[in-house]
Amino acid sequence: MDQLAYISLSILYLLLGIISVFNFSFKDSALKGFIILTVLLPITKFTTTFHTNFQISFYYYYFIGIIFLFLAKVASKRKLNFNLFLCTTLLGVVLIAYILHYIFLVEESRKLTNVLKDIKPFILIPLAFIFMDQLGDRLNNILTKKFCVRLLWANLGVTVFMFYLMVTKSIHLILTDDPYYKYEELRYETLGSYFGLFYLTFAIFNKRKISLIELGLCLAPLLFTGNRTLIFSVLMIISLYYILRLSIAKIIVFVASLVSLLSTFAYLVWKSDEGSPLSRFKLLLDPEYIQYALLNRYSPFITSIKSFDAWNYIVGKGLGFSFFIPWFHYRANIDIFNVYIDNLYLTLYAKFGIFLIVFFVVMFIFLYTYNNFRTAFFYFVFILILSVTNAFVYQYNFLWIFILFAFPFNTYNQLTK
């Protein structure tokens, strides 16, 4: 059933992508369909076998039509977005260098799948540029306040329903045989969880009004994710934005309000039931746990650099290098050697050495290309914080998150529009 679902949805996304780039009267409806499906479908970790095959998530197929449109326009007009050209060139040079490094200098055996996983970010970042370059103007007309709010309501409804099924029917255990989900807290994080996050932050950073209802619609799905770093990153960039705009007196009021809010949140966490998404935050109230968790989380990196020579400290180990993850031993379906750890900086450094900076430079250029400097700056801070405990460029949600960074949400439109 999982393969049938994957193939069927892959074909659907492929057709939507093709329709979106042809001059059909309903091409915008196809683009809307792509957004609606991606937000509402249960594309999450425990449904991986349904939405990802050979490291290709079914929503990637939507981009095939856009690639052909892009290549046709470049061939006919012989013009190319400068920032797209710059970033593709930077990534291309690094990629070619590391392919040569892998061919001539890597003597140990490495899995081809791990090499391809390391190559994937080099492809997905330019793909996000191409998507926005070809469809950015149309998104500006599609992402009206009316459309977004309706989609946020639908996403909240689907999230609550799916979480209800997880609690009452253990649907997450039915859809996967990974023992990880038997012992971990209930969490429901999908691609849709990020749609409201960026709708909210875009409105704030572009000084647009947002109602309390919209605020709730954006934040509520985040609580179901149990993703501590994600929630912390969002709170940090929003807090930083307001702090930089305030006078000293207002900063004091803001800090007092923030402390009050966090105290209330801490109380709710303390009183939460075991196994709930909020219960995961209890451990953050224990300093000893935080110290242990960080050291344990990064131990695969510490172990790996013991084999580094002087050259590796500069250029890293190259494509396909993997980390030994000792706590994966009980997950029979998971390789105990993983291509990344839960820290993007350490992951990239182990593979690409000092050239990890190229990825962050390219990501900032992308943010600045499709946002004003203020929004680009705060989104970049978000990436920097998220990267401390998350190697998100290696995950199936990366392409979706990356294009959301550039979505031109029309949050100023009236609901009647």
Structure confidence by residue, pLDDT tens digits, 341-356: 989 999 999 999 999 9
Give the helix/strand (H/E) hosting 16: helix 2-21
User: What are φ and ψ of residue 24, in 5° steps?
Assistant: -85, 155
Tell me the average pLDDT of the chain.
Answer: 88
Residue of higher predicted confidence among 229 and 336: 229
pLDDT above 90: residue 185: no
| pLDDT interval class at 293 (50, 70, 90) | low
What length does the chain have? 417
pLDDT digit string, tens, across residues 367-377: 999 999 999 99
- Per-residue pLDDT, 329: 62
- Per-residue pLDDT, 332: 61
pLDDT above 70: residue 415: no
- Per-residue pLDDT, 410: 85
| pLDDT interval class at 417 (50, 70, 90) | very low
- Per-residue pLDDT, 271: 61
| pLDDT interval class at 396 (50, 70, 90) | very high
Q: Which burial class, exposed, middle or buried, applies to 189 when counting CB atoms under 10 A from its CB (0-12, 13-18, 19+)? A: buried
pLDDT digit string, tens, across residues 3-31: 999 999 999 999 999 999 987 788 999 99
Nearest-angstrom CA–CA distance, 347 and 365: 21
- Per-residue pLDDT, 257: 76
Tokens found for residue 62 = 């939507």
Mean pLDDT of 108-121: 93
pTM of the model: 0.87
Mean pLDDT of 118-126: 96
- Per-residue pLDDT, 370: 96
- Helix residue spans in 144-227 (DSSP H): 145-169, 171-174, 180-183, 192-205, 212-225
- Per-residue pLDDT, 416: 40
- Per-residue pLDDT, 79: 80
| DSSP sequence for 247-316 | -HHHHHHHHHHHHHHHHHHHHHHHHSPTTSGGGGGGGGG-HHHHHHHHHHHTHHHHHHGGG--TTHHHH-
Nearest-angstrom CA–CA distance, 201 and 240: 12
- Taking Cα atoms as reference points, which of 366, 355, 358 lies closest to residue 82? 366
- Rounded to a whole number, what is the distance in angstroms from the first to the last CA of the chain? 41
